[in-house]
């Protein structure tokens, strides 16, 4: 017995003299690589996974089956404003991007700035459209946080012309979506060798008009119904750069061919990520920049089109594929938007968001399957620009001139895109006007969407086509959403007056 006691005491002394080391804390998982892909004028319905009767998008369909499908994803009604919201997490009216041809302001903080400071390699490929891409521009991709860019001021077609890091533009030969992806893959390979996480922003020129396509893609759609041949639309002519009447059927053949070519390039990118053993921890996020334009619109379940704040102008396709972070395929009906991208990526990478008003929210709980309802409304607002008001340019007009050519003839007969951004002189009551909408839960309030209707209220869960105006039967909801809209507009106008930069 005494021996047993002595042995126990000896063991205790030994344990006290040689304490067991605690388990080392687990290593944090590596930060994801991030690739943001955006189609140009690609509407919600124009994917196979959304049951389009003609368009073939096998690779987007695969992404939708493998990852997170965002069925209620929103952009702004036109391209430049949406691009600003992606970069900043803020509504574009806060910094004067009121529509196509308005530039961002140099003082805005972008997701590229933030992730570059956090050690990410950052690159932009394709359509920029928030300022000129030339080296002297204070709003080129480099000034906005991208260390590398192969970009165009506006949209582009086959055999596109791009500027590399702001240098003199040069022509590339081939299908534009494939060119962008080939260049992006080369960049990814270099960053893999350097063992550096990356943020790639790839903004396609497709399927924006004027339309075109390679023969194998065009052949897929030669059997479109003849009923579309009797409808006339007015896309841009490749020959003159001006609007020209054409049968919708001919236009749709070319438009759908562009979508299929873009989709194929996404497949090529996905295969490259797999070959490079980067697919598992690369977040690949595809979305459109606005709804379908009149030149490419056939039957639709939605009301409206590009430029409008009805669903046809703002609801766009969106899918996220990220095997390490979204291992189980899911479909979400929670409303989300392009302005959510910055706060979401900041949360995923452990990066602080800018100390300015943001309009987006962190969607990480949605990615994890924990968010069942959005906590913040989404607002859309076409600012009522008064062209007769004297305005002081925010940026020297010479620095706002584009250098990359376009097929479309712009104002003044030029074949490029120039930009503008002005200091706002003062806030007046008229500044609160303009076509606008706010989505909160299932309800959407539209003000001045159609002048003859004034105020409209829709239950999107029951009426996605926005056919039944509930404003008269639900005045309390109208009042609440009107107040939310007014409060939000006041905040936006405060930003427009440059209060965020002080």
19 pLDDT more than 80: no
**Burial (CB count <10 Å: 0-12, 13-18, 19+), residue 226:** exposed
CA distances from 411 to 103, 185, 414, 419 (A): 16, 36, 6, 11
43 pLDDT more than 90: yes
CA distances from 356 to 224, 297, 361 (A): 49, 38, 13
Three-state secondary-structure class, residue 327: coil
283 pLDDT more than 70: yes
- For the chain, what percent of residues have pLDDT higher than 90? 91
Q: Indicate the DSSP class of residue 466.
A: -
Provide mean pLDDT across the span 64-83. 98
Tell me the C-alpha distance between 212 and 385, whole Å: 34
Provide mean pLDDT across the span 25-36. 80
Tell me the C-alpha distance between 315 and 447, whole Å: 18
216 pLDDT more than 50: yes
Domain assignment present for 244: yes
CB atoms within 10 A of CB 468: 12
Tens digits of per-residue pLDDT, 394-437? 999 999 999 999 999 988 889 999 999 999 999 999 999 999 99
**Burial (CB count <10 Å: 0-12, 13-18, 19+), residue 91:** buried
Tell me the C-alpha distance between 159 and 41, whole Å: 20
Higher pLDDT: 332 or 30? It is: 332
Domain assignment present for 219: yes
Domain assignment present for 40: yes
167 pLDDT more than 50: yes
11 pLDDT more than 70: no
The length of the chain in residues reads 502
CATH code for the domain in which residue 263 is found:
3.40.720.10
pLDDT for position 28: 64
Task: Provide the b/e sequence for 187-206 (b: ≥16 CB within 10 Å).
Answer: bbeebeeeeebbbbbbbbbb
Which of 260, 203, 440 is closest to 337 using CA atoms?
440
Mean pLDDT of the chain: 94
- Domain containing residue 317: 33-373
The values of phi and psi at residue 403, to 5°, are: -125, -20
Residue where the block lists tokens 């056919």: 467
pLDDT for position 23: 36
Domain assignment present for 262: yes
Domain assignment present for 424: no
Provide mean pLDDT across the span 89-93. 98
5 pLDDT more than 70: no
Tell me the C-alpha distance between 458 and 112, whole Å: 37
Q: Are 440 and 457 in contact (CB under 8 A)?
A: no
pLDDT for position 21: 39
Domain count, the chain: 1
pLDDT for position 26: 47
Provide mean pLDDT across the span 164-189. 98
134 pLDDT more than 90: yes
pLDDT for position 450: 82
Higher pLDDT: 22 or 70? It is: 70
Domain assignment present for 268: yes
Q: Are 279 and 273 in contact (CB under 8 A)?
A: yes
452 pLDDT more than 80: no
Tens digits of per-residue pLDDT, 77-90? 999 999 999 999 99
pLDDT for position 10: 44
Domain assignment present for 428: no
Which of 205, 339, 274, 299 is closest to 59 using CA atoms?
274
Domain assignment present for 422: no
């Amino acid at each position: 017995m005494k021996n047993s006691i002595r042995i126990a005491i000896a063991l205790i002394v030994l344990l006290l003299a040689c304490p067991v080391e605690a388990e080392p804390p687990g290593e944090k998982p590596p930060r994801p690589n991030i690739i943001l892909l955006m189609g140009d004028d690609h509407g919600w319905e124009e994917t196979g996974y959304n049951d389009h009767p003609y368009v073939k998008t096998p690779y987007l369909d695969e992404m939708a089956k493998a990852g997170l499908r965002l069925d209620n994803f929103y952009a702004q009604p036109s391209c430049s404003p949406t691009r600003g919201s992606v970069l900043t997490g803020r509504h574009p009216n806060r910094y004067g991007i009121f529509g196509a041809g308005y530039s961002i302001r140099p003082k805005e903080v972008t997701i590229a700035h933030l992730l570059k400071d956090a050690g990410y390699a950052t690159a932009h490929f394709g359509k920029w459209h928030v300022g000129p891409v030339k080296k002297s521009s204070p709003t080129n991709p480099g000034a906005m946080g991208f260390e590398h860019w192969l970009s165009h001021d506006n949209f582009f077609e086959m055999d596109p012309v791009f500027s590399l890091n702001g240098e003199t533009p040069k022509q590339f030969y081939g299908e534009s979506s494939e060119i962008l992806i080939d260049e992006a893959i080369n960049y990814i390979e270099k960053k893999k060798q350097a063992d550096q996480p990356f943020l790639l922003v790839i903004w396609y020129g497709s399927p924006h008009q004027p339309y075109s396509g390679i023969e194998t893609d065009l052949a897929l759609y030669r059997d479109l119904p003849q009923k579309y041949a009797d409808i006339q639309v007015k896309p841009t002519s490749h020959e003159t750069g001006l609007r020209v009447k054409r049968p919708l059927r001919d236009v749709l053949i070319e438009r759908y061919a562009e979508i299929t070519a873009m989709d194929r390039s996404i497949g090529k990118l996905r295969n490259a990520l797999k070959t490079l053993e980067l697919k598992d921890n690369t977040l690949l996020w595809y979305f459109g920049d606005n709804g379908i334009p009149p030149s490419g619109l056939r039957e639709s379940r939605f009301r409206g089109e590009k430029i409008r704040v009805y669903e046809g102008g703002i609801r766009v396709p969106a899918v996220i594929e990220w095997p390490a972070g979204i291992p189980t395929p899911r479909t979400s009906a929670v409303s989300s938007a392009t302005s959510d991208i910055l706060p979401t990526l900041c949360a995923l990478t452990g990066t602080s968001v800018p100390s300015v008003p943001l309009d987006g929210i962190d969607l990480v709980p949605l990615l994890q399957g924990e968010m069942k309802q959005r906590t913040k409304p989404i607002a859309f607002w076409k600012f009522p620009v008064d062209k007769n008001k004297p305005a002081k340019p925010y940026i020297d007009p010479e620095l706002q001139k584009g250098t990359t050519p376009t097929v479309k003839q712009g104002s003044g007969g030029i074949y490029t895109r120039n930009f503008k951004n002005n200091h706002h002189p003062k806030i007046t009551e008229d500044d609160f006007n303009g076509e606008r909408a706010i989505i909160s839960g299932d309800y959407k309030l539209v003000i001045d969407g159609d002048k003859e209707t004034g105020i409209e209220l829709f239950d999107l869960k029951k009426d996605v086509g926005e056919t039944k105006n509930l404003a008269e039967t639900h005045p309390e909801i109208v009042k609440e959403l009107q107040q939310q809209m007014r409060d939000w507009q006041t905040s936006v106008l405060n930003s427009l007056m440059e209060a965020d930069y002080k």
